Amino acid sequence: MAAKQPPPLMKKHSQTDLVSRLKTRKILGILGVGGEDDDGEVHRSKISQVLGNEIKFTVREPLGLRVWQFVSAVLFSGIAIMALAFPDQLYDAVFDGAQVTSKTPIRLYGGALLSISLIMWNALYTAEKVIIRWTLLTEACYFGVQFLVVTATLAETGLMSLGILLLLVSRLLFVAISIYYYYQVGRRPKKA
């Protein structure tokens, strides 16, 4: 029995090739590929349109961001462990000799800080811009609220010590650093 021979290969006519290109462009247009993207970038080839531009998805990290994230995670973890294990010493360091009436609020504070520190440690290993920004905003809010609470406590009690002044100054500095990095991570990259 004789095997059937495949039909001879025919060259495409230029007209059918144009129709094929038109169909491809229509499909790519439906998928949102082609022309300008959301950032106004014009792709030079179909491959870059279909595959996307990898550089667009990487976060350009500001200088020192990862160091700040590491310092924050260590700071939150250290204070959390101190508040959980040694609440008297933590209170004494901040309020300079004032007597602790109950250890429970300080330990609850330590538990909350430990939870935030876990978020900080996880954010240290991510490259997602949104997660980095949310953790920086969390830090800024935490330090801002702590500044307000300590200031209100000072107004009520009238206690003033070097430890409290250092705490207030450091909290303002930490708020400024966190907000700086928050805005730097959120900036759109400049086009070359």
Tens of pLDDT, residues 53-107: 544 445 578 899 999 999 999 999 999 999 999 888 887 777 776 677 888 988 9
Instruction: Kindly write down the DSSP assignment for every residue of 53-76, as one continuous string.
Output: -HHHHS--PPTTHHHHHHHHHHHH
Residue 47, helix vs strand vs coil: helix
Q: At what angle do helices 162-186 and 129-157 cross, to 10 degrees?
A: 160
Tens of pLDDT, residues 134-173: 999 999 999 999 999 989 988 888 877 787 888 899 999 9
Task: With residue 23 as reference, give the H or E element that holds it.
Answer: helix 14-30
Domain ranges of the chain: 63-186
Name the pTM for this structure: 0.65
Pair 162, 96: CB distance under 8 Å: yes
Q: Which two tokens stand for residue 117?
A: 């520190």
Higher-confidence position of 185 and 100? 185
Residue 30 has pLDDT above 70, yes or no: no
